[in-house]
Structure 1
Amino acid sequence: MGETQNPLEVLSLEALRRRQSLKWRAFGDEVLPLWVAEMDTPLAAPVAQALNRAIELGDAGYPSAGPYIEAFRNFAARRWEWEPGAEQIRPVRDVMTGVIEALRLAGELWDTVIVSSPVYPPFFNYPVTAGRRVVEAPLGAEGRLDFEMLEESFNLRTAGGQASYLLANPHNPTGTVHTRQELEQLARLAADYGVRVISDEIHAPLVYAETDFTPYLTVDPRGYAVTSASKGWSLAAFKAGLLIAGEEVASELADLPPEASLGASHIGVLAQTAAFAEGEPWLDALLQGLDANRMLLTELLAEHAPQVSYSVPQGTYFGWLDFSEFGYDDAPNGGAERPIQGPAKHLLQEAKVALTGGHAFGTGGEQHARLNFATSQAILTEAVQRIGAVLVPAAGSGPDRLSSG
């Protein structure tokens, strides 16, 4: 495909149904899957070429991460005018593995990890597997950071020991992109209470033109960031991530266990290096397609499901949908990784559309579901039409609450 062509409009539904990935295999062929964070795109040409070269050469050995680190540094310099030093960066298996390694470097067993819910579900369970306690400091109005809540949480949790704050930047699932002023305020608050901030920036390439992305480490030299090309170029199969230390704590990377850097796969490093080094034309075409889709979602909901509240995201390819006008039961019914509670359960059963249930995102996720609009406009249109056809407002529900803000 040409790199100026919208990659979301290349593959037919028939072609997508031949995929063997989780998104397309978890539910039957009657279901339109708009749940897990996979995009319905072909590979960017530079990525496909890098993978084909590796296959032709039998290049299936251990990873050499130097070019990967340089490709990211150059990408960050072009995209965000930020170029962390190579000594600040280490390869890791993937972003959430990098989060765990950062928590270990920044604190101790049984430390508290604070998260701002509703937030990416692994923020709750991955730290627990690493021996940490997770507490919530929910988002405030309009899905932005609530600094009074954060200060209260930082104060309480640092009184009896260390604490870390796990930031989603941009925020998943709301699509909020934190401003530089907000991140500076967070950094000051963290410094006041001795809290270490770890910023998950995997969605950073997916920020729309009207909004500026601010890398967290540009405002906090004692923080950590984790990232990869996985979300921007839909490369979840090619495991590789980067752990980045703030300038003042780069020496802590010496304590990173050797096996952490060996976790990235060679094929993943090759794919993601190509994405960062040569994949920007494809990314720009993708962003144009995603921009059109986020606006189309606004129009489709207004027409077919006007009582569903939705705020257009500033980043990511997620629509965070509020179904509270419909009175769905959010009682648990299955594992947290399956979108089968509340409105998502109803829509899977009745509309044959798979969304991710809001309950998995913690406090504030009740009566919500996350919709992945990184698909073709035809699939997105049919999905919302199906959703609208099965929604029945609860008795006494209020006026239409659709928001484009």
Structure 2
Amino acid sequence: MLRKLVRHIEKEDLFYRNEKLLVAVSGGLDSVVLLHLLHKMEMNCVVAHCNFRLRAGDSDGDEIFVGELAEKYSFPFCTTAFDTTAYAKEKAISIEMAARDLRYEWFESIRQANQCLYILTAHHADDVIETVLINLARGTGIHGLTGIKAKKDRLIRPLLPFSRDELKAYAEENTLNYREDYTNAQTDFVRNKIRHQIIPVLREINPSIQKTMNENVARFSDVELIYNNEISNKKMNFINQKDDKLLISVSELKNLPANKSHLFELLKPYGFHSRDVANIIESLDATSGKLFYSENYQLLRDREYLILIEKEEKVAGEYELNKSGLSIEEELKLECRIFELSSDFKFSTDPQVACFDADKLSFPLKLRKWQEGDVFHPIGMKGRKKISDYFIDNKFSLTDKEDAWLLVSGDDIIWLVGHRMDDRYKITKATRSIYQVSNVLR
């Protein structure tokens, strides 16, 4: 196995013997085998371990085990701990995605601090199959079908030619101890479902599924090269750069075959997703003026062009609201009026209109952006709720969160504008006068 690894490293030009490497080691089978092989090769390594605090004492046991292993091989050891669950909740992402984001950001910082040239992980051939199936299920486009690259920028995966069974055989042959992660047997995580429920069925259909999938991945990689080359050539016909704007010709785009795929590949680097692209394509036959957003960019459907530009940083202001209404930079305009409650009064079903018991309000009201820790009492619900939790429960996008405004009376949030008002300020049988606020620009 050592000879096969050395041949693979040389063939793929992964790294050289005199280069310093940061090795990600979890303590499991894969990374323990990788570290042992690098030790046999007498490589200059720094061991990095992440404690995600997801398995109580077991996570701490992994950290101790990896530290002792690094000491055994005389490798420097770096470790850190994350509150992965809190991070996942804050970012409204899965635990898997949270752990991935946290570790790779930390790996890069440690790589630089220790002057390592590359980061090595222990991904192997089985991981390639799982990744392709996950990407196929999630709809990541043709790039997702090309599997895992052996080398990408500063990240290297030297074990891709080896299966999990080969790694197990190597560990047994060399009497290597490693840590068993009991969560690997659970099917709560997407990758584990693929590993334990789908791949065994595929092996029944095709006992050589690993070889077949690796051949498919090689073909998909070639297809991706052809695909990207064609798109690169075509985009010269319908894209122009003007100052800090990217102009995409609407007429040329509409005439392109498979225009959705062309636009997806063009906008993907700017943070737009397939659902965004589908909506943009639909807008080509609509009137101009519609805006689309990614995290850092906005795209305007103008008359002749789709205009892509980086979003300007918005300054979160605070504004006072009396009894007449106001306009904020033309992005939010509130119209307000006070009137006596009459027997024929009917509540509006428009979420952009809110009616409050006027006698409960403390003027001037304040209009501001939301902040971490903000809470309110959503109408129709018992008790209070964090605004951030409301965003998560109602699947607010990043743009939705950025655009969210709060109407405040005293210290109380009385309305998440356009979404939900506060139960404490609703109209009751005791209400005499109503303060109605309408968001007329939404």
Q: TM-score higher than 0.5 here?
A: no
Larger radius of gyration: 2
TM-score computed with the length of structure 2 as normaliser: 0.27
More strand by share: 2
Bigger relative contact order, structure 1 or 2 (CA pairs below 8 A, ≥6 apart)? 1
